[in-house]
Amino acid sequence: MPRLSEVIAELDALWPPERAEQWDAVGTVCGDPDAEVRRVLFAVDPVQEIADEAIDLGADLLVTHHPLYLRGTTTVAASHFKGRVVHTLIKHDIALHVAHTNADTADPGVSDALAGALDLRVTGPLVPENNLGRICELDRPETLAEFADRAAKRLPATAQGIRVAGDPGMVLHRVAVSGGSGDSLFDAVRAAGVDAFLTADLRHHPVSEATQHATRSRPLGLVDAAHWATEWPWCEQAAAQLDTISDRHGWDLRVHVSKTVTDPWSSHHTSSGAPN
């Protein structure tokens, strides 16, 4: 069995921590470097529900995409929900490692996994300077409505579902995708000349401006999925990468992907009909 330090060295080679944004908090949160690792669990969010799942699984290492302490902290007291996660993991000898923006810009990275889940052919990065997002081609032309249906069928189900802006009947050939929040990338999307952009966390004003900016000769369709749903495919990709590493080293690791939906929105919808 490998030691934690050996596994982390391989994960850092996949997602170099120096490629993370300066504001990010990536790397190992807790864990004994000399502890043996037999079972690994991948998940998007380091929340209590996932920590409990790691215990039930008998995992020695939990790898998440989102950081536990993105803005830093001065305490890990169990009286706070994040501190309780730390206490839970340490009590059960489970290490926690985070790969966030360093996984976004990796090759393959989060957007490659998203493109793969949608069965799209990647032709290049959306933002070449930092390898962020992906430009993709469809296997055959399809309408914006059909592309949205593809996303709804192939991404994990969430309360939000899939939202669309643009003419549902417009025909798509090339699209851009970016896992996680992507409404800061509209300039790159326009420059790429794609027919549609699939991402998450699209806000009113950027979407309104993007649709108004689109011309009759170059319309742009927008597909907005849940943040968690666009990043979950990375867990499967990352698990497969670690499986390959384990086989190469003869480690015989047991690698798992959490299917627990940690998207924070509930499935309850209330219609709104108040006048503006």
> Using one digit for the tens of pLDDT, what is the confidence trace for 23-75?
999 999 999 999 999 999 999 999 999 999 999 999 999 999 999 999 888 89
Q: How far is residue 57's CA from residue 186's CA, in Å, rounded to a whole number?
A: 41
Residue 90: burial class (beta carbons within 10 Å; 0-12, 13-18, 19+): middle
Going 246 to 49 to 157 to 97, the CA torsion angle's sign is negative
Return the pLDDT at 76.
93
SS (H, E, C) the chain: CCEHHHHHHHHHHHCCHHHCCCCCCCEEEECCCCCECCEEEEECCCCHHHHHHHHHHCCCEEEECCCCCCCCCCCCCCCCHHHHHHHHHHHCCCEEEECCHHHHCCCCCHHHHHHHHCCCEEEEEEECCCCEEEEEEEEEEEEHHHHHHHHHHHCCCCCCCCEEECCCCCEEEEEEEEEEECCCCHHHHHHHCCCEEEEECCCHHHHHHHHHHCCCCCCCEEEEECHHHHHHHHHHHHHHHHHHHHHHHCCCCEEEECCCCCCCCCCCCCCCCCCC
- Tens place of pLDDT for every residue, the chain, 276 residues? 999 999 999 999 999 999 999 999 999 999 999 999 999 999 999 999 999 999 999 999 999 999 999 988 889 999 999 999 999 999 999 999 999 999 999 999 999 999 999 999 999 999 999 999 999 999 999 999 999 999 999 999 999 999 999 999 999 999 999 999 999 999 999 999 999 999 999 999 999 998 888 877 689 999 999 999 999 999 999 999 999 999 999 999 999 999 999 999 987 666 656 555
Return the pLDDT at 272.
58
pTM: 0.95
Return the pLDDT at 266.
81
